[in-house]
Structure 1
Amino acid sequence: MSGPWKSRPPRDGRPPSPYGARPSHASQASPADEGAAAPAPPNRRGSEQRLYGLNAVHAVFKARPEAIRKLYLTESRLTALKPLLAWCVKQRVGYRVVEDADLQKLAGSEHHEGVVAEVLRVEPQRLSDWLQALPAGPQLALWLDGVGNPHNFGAILRSAAHFGVSAILLPKQSQLALSGAAARVAEGGAEAVPLVRLGADDNAVAQLHAAGFTLAATVVRDGQDLFATSLPQRLIYVMGAEGEGMAPALAEACDLRLSIPGTGAVESLNVSAATAVFLSRWRGR
């Protein structure tokens, strides 16, 4: 294929890195027998996943209660989760009161906030289906080209929900998926923002252009000043991978290159922090 989509150049040929540097960092069986050790417990079924965190579980209960298959909680959460427990009893969904150590094993994390839920996984939509259902008028979406850190992903989902993002667009080959860690960091935002799976990059760009979207590559240097640029009503912010940045061909295919001006005291913002700034600017345009 000719043009910008011919190949992805080696890493040292990439443009200035977009924002972000990878931070360091109801069966009756016993939960301890079911759980797996950190960092990530496996799902017993491919269609199910374990979510944890109070707001994440509340959000699933509000948005799609029928997806809940089992619930584990500590005694300290009985009052906070009383409506959910009543629903579980009515719907014959199993729940168990367990110890903190059991939840750590189930979640693969000490940050479970006293509750773990096994829920049906939501698969990403196809781009064509999402575009067909999308209303006319102003719309904003995020294209995550290589973002992989689950905590960054969760923070991005939280900001996306806050600012009314219509979808998170995931490249065809992206391994990024909603995990328990991402859902907890998102604080309920994961249930508010749909995920959309793209096809080949060039086809996806053509489909988005046909739907009236402008694509903006977010770069650290040499982009237009975000705060001095007039933003279109239908916009896709393309956010690059932590550290290495977005594919040069994808950056070349974008209509705009935008940067967040700063003091220069640090090279850039973390990708999730930068995303919040970009989203806020579009919201207040």
Structure 2
Amino acid sequence: MRHDPPSRPPRGPRPPGESRPWDRSGVRSRQERFSERTAQVQRPRDDDSLHEHQHEHEHDANHALRERRSAELRLYGLNAIQAVFSRRPQAIRKLYLAEARIPALQPLLKWCVANRVGYRVVDELDLHKLAASSHHEGIVADVLREEPQPMSSWLRDLPAGPQCAIWLDGVGNPHNFGAILRSAAHFGIAAILLPKHSTLALSGAAARVAEGGAEAVPLVRMGRSDNAIAQLRSAGFTLAATVVQGGSDAFRTELPQRLVYVLGAEGEGMDRELAQACDLRLSIPGSGLVESLNVASAAAVLLAAWRAKR
């Protein structure tokens, strides 16, 4: 006689008070769920996350380094660095020099020691590398960059009486810029005026060519050209566009007490609209054997012409 196993009762709502055994093979306990969540929280980042975190850290460090470097300027040349020491010694951050320069630089070295500014005696090859030039004259320094001042601040503090300034429109060659700064310092010029979007800035090469003139002549950042012209005229300045041909003789023209020479780029010359907006157009007469002087030489001649009439 065959006995069939009893059939499993159908599932349905349990009567009150009745319990039913459960198959727990697919069910996680509260402790198991808690342990799994804890493991997920404590699990280390995967390689991509670690790489991303490291990349962000490196980006921040590089950004800080770029900011520090942009705030500093590497100068070289004896007169350029001595000028910084004389006018704003607190701007000096680090100094490198040849051993032969030690006797002549005793005041600067004593100041460095007293103010905990590091200096190092290095050989000639190291100075070449630091300056990226052979014209270092035995000394290289990292100094804080002095940013151009706003036009309004410069005009506010400008003394009354005769004043001359140079507006550089598109000039970019650092050696020409340095030569202009040297001439401007020699003739006691009030400022170099830089257009709003000009990328021209003092470099080590320009400062060396200026032979200390970079510390003597302020750089002034203008706003929009039409506003700058209006501000200058309100302060009593006459603007003179310098042109190769077609201008009045710079030596024979009566030059005003307060004058701004507007000098154009080395190759392209001055912006046409800017030239038309000026009050005077001046040319430097010559033999005609060459087309013109370069911008730095022209600046020196024009500044001398203005100074001669004072």
| Equivalent of 1:142 in 163, 166, 182 | 166
Identity of paired residues, percent? 73
Alpha-carbon distance between aligned partners in 2 of 1:49 and 1:152, rounded to the nearest angstrom? 19
What is the DSSP-based 3-state SS (H/G/I as helix, E as strand, rest coil) of the residue aligned with 2:281? strand
The structure number with the bigger radius of gyration is: 2
SS at match of 2:159: coil
**d(CA) in 1 for partners of 2:67, 2:209:** 20
How far apart are residue 45 of structure 1 and its match? 2.4
Give the partner amino acid of 2:301: V
Q: Which amino acid aligns with 1:215?
A: L
- How many angstroms does 1:187 deviate by? 0.2
RMSD over aligned CA atoms reads 1.0
**1:226-279 CA distance string (max 9 Å, x none):** 111000000000000001001101000000000000000000011101100000
- Structural mapping, 1:248-259, within 5 Å: 248-259=272-283
CA contact (8 A) 1:43 1:49 kept: no
Change (3 A) 1:43 1:280: farther
Alpha-carbon distance in structure 2 between the residues aligned to 1:136 and 1:64 = 26
Corresponding residue to 1:122 among 123, 140, 146: 146
Is 1:68 aligned with 2:92? Answer: yes
SS at structure 2 position matched to 1:239: strand
CA displacement at 1:44 relative to structure 2: 5.0
Residue 227 of structure 1 aligns to a residue in which SS? Answer: coil
Q: Partner of 1:9 in structure 2?
A: none
Q: Secondary structure at the match of 1:174?
A: coil
1:152-179 Cα shifts (integer Å, max 9, x gaps):
0000000000000000000011110000
- Post-superposition offset of 1:46: 2.0
The answer as to whether partners of 1:152 and 1:272 remain within 8 angstroms in 2 is yes
DSSP-derived class of the 1:103 partner: helix
Q: Residue 92 of structure 1: CA displacement?
A: 0.9
Residue by residue, what CA displacement relative to the aligned partner does 1:190-214 show, whole Å, maximum 9, x if unpaired? 0000000011111100110111000
Shift in Å at residue 43 of structure 1? 8.3
Which of structures 1 and 2 has the larger relative contact order (alpha carbons within 8 angstroms, sep 6+)? 1
What is the one-letter code of the residue matched to 2:157?
A
Structure 2 residue 91 is matched with structure 1 residue 104: no
Q: Which runs of structure 2 are paired with 1:83-94 in the superposition (5 Å)?
A: 83-94=107-118
Runs of 4+ in 1 over 6 A off after TM superposition: none
Question: What is the aligned counterpart of 1:206 among 230, 234, 243?
Answer: 230
Residue 55 and residue 85 in structure 1: after superposition, are their counterparts in 2 closer, same or farther (change >3 A)?
A: same
**Residues 43 and 50, structure 1, Cα contact 8 Å, conserved in 2:** no
The SS at the match of 2:140 is strand
Cα offsets for 1:82-116 (capped at 9, x unmatched): 11001111111100000111111111111111100
State which of 162, 166, 172 in structure 1 corresponds to 2:190. 166
Residues 1-285 of structure 1: pairs in structure 2 closer than 5 A: 44-285=68-309
Residue ranges of structure 2 left out of the alignment (5+ in a row): 1-65
CA distance in structure 1 between the partners assigned to 2:132 and 2:67 by the alignment = 12
Unaligned runs of 5+ residues in structure 1 are: 1-41
**Quick one: which amino acid aligns to residue 154 of structure 2?**
W
- Give the secondary structure class of the aligned counterpart of 1:265: coil
How many Å separate the matches in 1 of 2:67 and 2:228?
A: 31
